[in-house]
Amino acid sequence: MLPIPATILMHDVGWASLISLLVAQFVKPFIAVASGHSFRVGRMFYTGGMPSSHTSLVTTLTLSIWGIEGSDSILFSMSLIFALYFVFEATGLRQEVGHQARVLNEMLDELTKTQKVDRGRLRELVGHTWSEVLGGVVVGVMVFWAYQHLWLGR
């Protein structure tokens, strides 16, 4: 029996979903430039930001399962439920963690004016806005389309 990561990549759906995540991560620095920020390759390795690679992955995964199993399958239903959970978690809890990090960083900035603090800054970009999630859905749908038409020839 193959280890779980190997079995995921034995199926086209696993590959398509992984490619969707990688495409979303790859375009992050270019979208940042289009938004007026400087180009930083490191943005490819950030969680958070436009587009959401988590949303891209679960969109491609769920649509691919739908394309193979149909909308009345239990596998599609489970995938859809987990995809919706991922999206709401990214825009809710993780977004709130980013807001808290921003407040803590401001407190640290004030504290370092009067005392020596041996602490780095917290990452503030951890969650996603709804527009970043929508960007992830767009990437996920595009990769699903490519998977269906170019890979499977449907």
Would you write out the chain's pLDDT as a tens digit for each of its 154 residues? 556 666 666 778 888 999 998 999 998 888 878 878 788 777 777 777 778 888 999 999 999 999 999 999 999 999 999 999 888 877 766 666 666 767 776 777 776 677 776 667 655 555 677 778 888 888 898 998 988 888 776 6
- pLDDT the model gives residue 71: 93
Domain ranges within the chain, ordered by starting residue = 4-92+127-151
Residue 17 backbone dihedrals phi, psi, to 5 degrees: -65, -40
What are the structure tokens assigned to 133, written together? Answer: 């999630």
Listed in sequence order, the DSSP H helices in the chain are 4-8, 12-34, 53-69, 74-91, 93-112, 130-146
Question: What is the spatial distance between Cα 86 and Cα 118, in angstroms, rounded to a whole number?
Answer: 35
Q: What pLDDT is attached to residue 40?
A: 79
CA–CA dist 30, 39 (Å, integer)? 7
Distance CA 94, CA 66 (A): 28
